[in-house]
């Protein structure tokens, strides 16, 4: 069994629902019910706001708890499409929990720190480019690249965001 599947199932045990089942999901994805394989309709139900919470976090296309566009689809079809087409090939392709997934677990269990230490940026060079050029949204859909907010830049830290060394920090989709 692959580690991302174990992580996904463990997050269910801990208390997380599928991201695409959020009560506000229709703003972000469209479920194509006619393409769902018979018997799997319940995998796409919305959970009402009275039965769940979104923890004050934005919709996370990169959540390990999000199904792919072809999950439980009749062969040759898709069951979900993102309202923002840039995320069509992002949903359901994660190999690790997102920052948002971890933040939800922290809220469920009352954690307020990263392993008892102050958060640090996961990809410091990338965060410099993010802060300087606004290439990614550290507090939104691209938050997986930074643990916390990107550090304030000094003039010495400014970089060329088109330097090929940054390609290591981006996924291929």
Residue 56, sorted as left (phi over 0), alpha (psi -120 to 50) or beta, turns out to be: left
Report yes or no on 129 lying in a domain.
yes
* Same domain flag for 128 and 63: no
Consult the annotation and say whether 20 binds a ligand. Answer: no
Q: Could you read off the pLDDT of 47-83 as tens digits, one per residue?
A: 999 998 888 889 999 999 999 999 999 999 999 999 9
Consult the annotation and say whether 4 binds a ligand. Answer: no
Please tell me the chain's helix, strand, coil percentages from 3-state DSSP, rounded to the nearest 5.
35, 5, 60
Report yes or no on 116 lying in a domain.
no
* Same domain flag for 11 and 84: yes
Distance CA 77, CA 86 (A): 19
Distance CA 84, CA 79 (A): 15
- For residue 91, give its domain range: 3-109
Q: Which residue has the tokens 């959970």?
A: 47
At residue 123, the pLDDT reads: 57
Tokens representing 171 are: 């996924």
What is the number of structural domains in the chain? Answer: 2
Tokens representing 14 are: 């801990």
CATH code at position 61: 3.40.390.10
Percent of the chain at pLDDT above 70? 64
Rg (CA), the chain: 18
Tokens representing 96 are: 């690790």
Tokens representing 124 are: 């410091």
Consult the annotation and say whether 8 binds a ligand. Answer: yes
Report yes or no on 168 lying in a domain.
no
pTM of the predicted model, to two decimals? 0.65
Where does 72-169 have alpha helices with state H? 99-109, 124-133
Query: Annotated catalytic residue: which of 9, 51, 117, 157?
Result: 9
At residue 134, the pLDDT reads: 53
Average pLDDT, rounded, for the chain: 76
At residue 53, the pLDDT reads: 87
Q: Are strands 29-31 and 80-82 parallel, antiparallel or unpaired?
A: antiparallel
At residue 95, the pLDDT reads: 87
At residue 103, the pLDDT reads: 84
Residue 9 among the catalytic residues: yes
Q: Could you read off the pLDDT of 85-129 as tens digits, one per residue?
A: 999 999 999 888 888 888 888 888 877 555 444 455 555 665 555
């Amino acid at each position: 069994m692959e580690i991302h599947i174990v992580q996904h199932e463990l997050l269910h045990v801990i208390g997380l629902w599928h991201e695409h089942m959020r009560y506000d999901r229709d703003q972000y994805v469209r479920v194509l019910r006619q393409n769902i394989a018979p018997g799997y309709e319940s995998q796409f139900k919305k959970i009402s706001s009275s039965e769940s919470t979104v923890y004050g976090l934005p919709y996370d296309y990169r959540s390990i708890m999000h199904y792919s566009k072809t999950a439980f689809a009749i062969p040759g079809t898709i069951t979900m499409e993102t309202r923002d087409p840039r995320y069509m090939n992002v949903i359901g392709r994660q190999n690790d929990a997102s920052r948002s997934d971890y933040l939800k677990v922290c809220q469920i269990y009352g954690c307020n720190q990263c392993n008892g230490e102050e958060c640090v940026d996961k990809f410091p060079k990338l965060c410099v480019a993010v802060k300087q050029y606004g290439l990614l949204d550290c507090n939104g859909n691209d938050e997986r690249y930074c643990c916390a907010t990107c550090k304030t830049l000094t003039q010495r830290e400014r970089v060329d965001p088109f330097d090929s060394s940054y390609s290591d920090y981006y996924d291929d989709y």
